[in-house]
Amino acid sequence: MKKIMMLAIILVAGLIIMPNVYAQTITVGDTGNGTDLNSKITNLNDNDIIELQGDVTVSTPIEITKKVTIKGNGHTISWNGDSSDTSGNKTILTAQGIGAELTIENATIKDAVKYGIQAYNGGKVTVNNVLIENCGYGAVLVNGGELTIKGLTFGQNGNDTGIEIGSGENVSNPSKVELDGTINSTDPNAKYLYVDENDFSEETKTFELSSTDNSEYKFQSKGNQIVIVNSAGNIVGISNNLDTVQVPSNISTYVEPVAPTPVDQPKEEANPNTSDINLYVLLSLIAASFCGIAYTVKRRFN
């Protein structure tokens, strides 16, 4: 009996200690070595955290298959590999497959051959205060994965594309995008959402859009487009025209905000004292004029 009790205590203690043993924070970027970032992520365990201590570069795509958080601390992850080869996955960071969860915050991602970030076939990505710019095909590709937006800004990217929603040949999971914050662009021509209609020609291929109750910005529909609306009810971004694919029915229809009715300003009433004074002055002037005329006539006939 004592042995069983001891074994139970050891097992409970092990369950308490294990998460602390395996969850660790790893710093990268002291020397700006992109290969270091790639190898560190490859060897991570679930729930590990990468802390960037400087800007880093990568020359090969980073494919994440575990639960990983990257804290950018205001630093940049940029591509410095071969930009002429566009075959295969040329995205800087990809959450690859079910079980992969990438959270990235306070970082800039730039110069990718294709996309800055990809959520692929069940992989999940959360972005918070992230800027993505100068990527060849677009900022983010949601390719059968899930994207949660807490704070995302697009710079200038290829085809003026912010988020592309697609479903590749070997993808079996739906593409999902959830708004839980804000999304903006410094590119005035940006397509905030681009839905690749060719990818959704089959009934088995689907995409979903949603907005949390507390999200400052919301997805809504306007005709055959998806619009992003801020808290004031103004459109801040639009999608491409959807001609062969239905706009998701779960999002509400956009309604133009009603301008406030102008309030009539009360007319300023004349001060009665001022009116009396003006009348007195006018009568005095008239009287003086008559006196002047009478005096002139009198002198002329005398």
Please report which helix (H) or strand (E) contains residue 277, including its range.
helix 272-301
Query: Can you give the pLDDT at residue 50?
Result: 95
Rounded mean pLDDT, 256-281: 65
Per-residue pLDDT band for 102 (boundaries 50, 70, 90) equals very high
**pLDDT value at residue 17:** 46
Rounded to whole angstroms, the Cα distance separating 216 from 233 reads 10
Position 16 scores a pLDDT of 47
The CATH number assigned to the domain with range 12-238 reads 2.160.20
Task: Render pLDDT for 167-202 as a digit per residue (tens, 0 to 9).
Answer: 998 999 999 999 999 999 999 999 999 999 999 988
> How far is Cα 54 from Cα 28, in angstroms, rounded to an integer?
7
49 versus 278: the higher-pLDDT residue is 49
Look up residue 71 and give its amino acid: K
User: How would residue 204 be classed by pLDDT, with cut points 50, 70 and 90?
Assistant: confident
- Per-residue confidence band for 219, with pLDDT thresholds at 50, 70 and 90: very high
Percent of the chain exceeding pLDDT 90 equals 65
Give whole-number Cα distances, 53 to 27, 28, 76, 81, 102, in Å: 6, 6, 10, 21, 19
CA end-to-end distance (rounded Å), the chain: 148
User: Average pLDDT, stretch 120-135?
Assistant: 98
Q: Are the CB atoms for 105 and 82 separated by under 8 Å? A: no
Calpha distance 154→47 (Å, rounded): 27
Using one digit for the tens of pLDDT, what is the confidence trace for 141-156? 999 999 999 999 999 9
Most confident by average pLDDT, 32-36, 200-204, 211-215 = 211-215
Q: Are strands 191-195 and 161-166 parallel, antiparallel or unpaired?
A: parallel
pLDDT at 39: 80
Q: Decide which of 162 and 301 is more confident.
A: 162
SS (H, E, C) 138-158: EEEEEEECEEEEEEEEECCCH
pLDDT, tens only, 78-95: 999 888 888 889 999 999
Q: Is the pLDDT of residue 293 over 70?
A: no
Q: Where are the domains of the chain?
A: 12-238
Checking if the pLDDT of 244 tops 60, the result is: yes
The pLDDT assigned to 280 comes to 62
The per-residue pLDDT for 281 is 59
Burial 245-266 (b: 16+ CB within 10 A, else e): bebbeebeebeeeeeeeeeeee
